[in-house]
Amino acid sequence: MDTSGYRSKADRKDTLNTLSYITPHLRPGDTVLDVGCGPGNVAWEIMQSHDGHVLAVDVVDYRRRELPHFALYDGVSLPFADASCDVVVVGFMLHHVPNEMKPAVLAELRRVTRRRLIVLEDTPRNALDRYFNRRHGEAFRKKIGSSAGYGFFALEEWKQVFEVNSLSVVDALPIGRFSRDWQQPFARSCFVLEPAR
Ligand SMILES: C[S@@+](CC[C@H](N)C(=O)[O-])C[C@H]1O[C@@H](n2cnc3c(N)ncnc32)[C@H](O)[C@@H]1O
């Protein structure tokens, strides 16, 4: 497994940008869980500097990084105890969850989160954003052989989805359109959530 590098400069820039939204929420000793870790860059970067456990799960395994605490799971039932993860990170994953499954997935995220749930998401603002989001969603479903509907929401819609599912929105921060590279000017946001108990 490649433990040294990124696929591209844009990947590295994007990962470090994602990290900048997560690290302010980490405390020494925290258990951090990355749900939908994909290549594992974000979890791996957290491991490099964080004094605590880093766990990662996904529904498919296409890691490019050595993550000692990685597990495959069924996409809904997280294999962790209630409130066992201080900080849970969900990077650009929820839009792949069919809309009818989102409440179950969010309930599980809420169940395992002790302090902070950090969700990074596409938040389309215009027709071009929605076009690229749709293409991305379709490509992923083709990869996993799924024909389910997809759910890319605008910023206010995500906020509503979180609140309805008992997750309080502490902050909603815009992610710069050019934080990846100028050829991929995605409209994205970072939501800082906490379980409403
Ligand atoms: C666009 S990638 C993002 C990867 C990584 N979080 C990042 O920010 O680089 C989306 C990931 O979500 C994963 N995924 C899709 N549905 C999922 C589910 N229900 N539970 C966990 N992961 C899921 C996919 O397998 C994929 O790895």
| Distance from C-alpha of 165 to C-alpha of 60, rounded to nearest angstrom | 26
Q: Are 165 and 103 in contact (CB under 8 A)?
A: yes
Which atom of ligand 1 is least distant from the CA of 35? Answer: 21
Residues 6 or more apart in contact with residue 93 via CB below 8 angstroms: 35, 36, 38
| Distance from C-alpha of 57 to C-alpha of 75, rounded to nearest angstrom | 9
Nearest CA to ligand 1 atom 22: 36
- Residue in 20, 59, 135 to alter for ligand 1 test, most ligand atoms within 8 A of Cβ: 59
Distance 91 CA to ligand 1 centre (A): 7
- Pocket residues: Cβ below 6 A from ligand 1: 18, 35-38, 41-42, 58-60, 75, 91-93, 96-97, 105
Strand pairing of 113-122 and 188-195? antiparallel
pLDDT at position 6 over 50: yes
Which atom of ligand 1 is least distant from the CA of 62? Answer: 27
Which tokens in the block code for residue 159?
Answer: 């906020």
40-91 pLDDT per residue, tens: 999 999 999 999 999 999 999 999 999 999 999 999 999 999 999 999 999 9
pLDDT at position 1 over 70: no
pLDDT at position 96 over 80: yes
Q: Is 97 exposed, middle or buried (0-12, 13-18, 19+ CB in 10 A)?
A: buried
CATH code, residues 9-195: 3.40.50.150
| H, E, C per residue of 71-121 | EECCCCCCCCCCCCEEEEEEECCHHHCCHHHHHHHHHHHHHHEEEEEEEEE
Per-residue pLDDT band for 4 (boundaries 50, 70, 90) equals low
Instruction: Determine the pLDDT at residue 2.
Output: 45
